[in-house]
Amino acid sequence: MGETHSEDVYTNLRALVRLRYTARGFSYLPGQPMSSLLIGRKRSRLRGRGLDFDELRHYRPGDDVRTMDWRVTNRTGKPHVRVYTEERDRPVIAIVDQRLPMFFGSQRKMKSVVAAEVAAITAWRVLSVGDRIGAVLFNDSRTVEARVGFSWVR
């Protein structure tokens, strides 16, 4: 049998912070069509009345008159419209099970350690692309909510 190291049985904050650089090299970007309910906070291919200003262009027949930029139209003498793109938000909530049944393992690590490491790598990756992350950690006796850039809705 191999040696057992304490970091294979338990984890700590220092070990989880070191995983920050492991989070590079993979992506959680969805391979979903833009109309999917699973789409996230990435620029939409759909143009229309969104929140982010995209461009100012000449008016074309069929454009919504409500998007007319009257200041630019008055200044240039030609009708211009403002085009906005929709930004979709993709908050992530990691749920980490640390109950007693998770304290068994393979020959390398306890499942509880692997669960904590996967949640940490996920959190680092999500934060690196500018999305929001929250976590619910629970064991046999209590539940803890962790919030990073996330407004909880109850």
90-143 pLDDT tens trace? 778 999 999 999 988 777 888 999 999 989 888 888 888 777 888 999 999 999
96: left (phi over 0), alpha (psi -120 to 50) or beta: beta
Domain locations in the chain as residue ranges: 6-30+91-148, 43-87
| Whether the model pTM is above 0.85 | no
pLDDT of residue 37: 52
Dist CA 104 CA 101 (whole Å): 7
pLDDT, position 69: 94
Reported as a single tens digit per residue, the pLDDT across 8-33 is 677 888 888 888 877 776 666 655 55
Q: Is 81 helix (H, G, I), strand (E, B) or coil?
A: strand
Task: Give the pLDDT score at 87.
Answer: 62
What does residue 13 show for φ and ψ, rounded to 5 degrees? Answer: -60, -40
**Angle, vertex CA 103, rays to CA 144 and CA 22, nearest 5:** 70
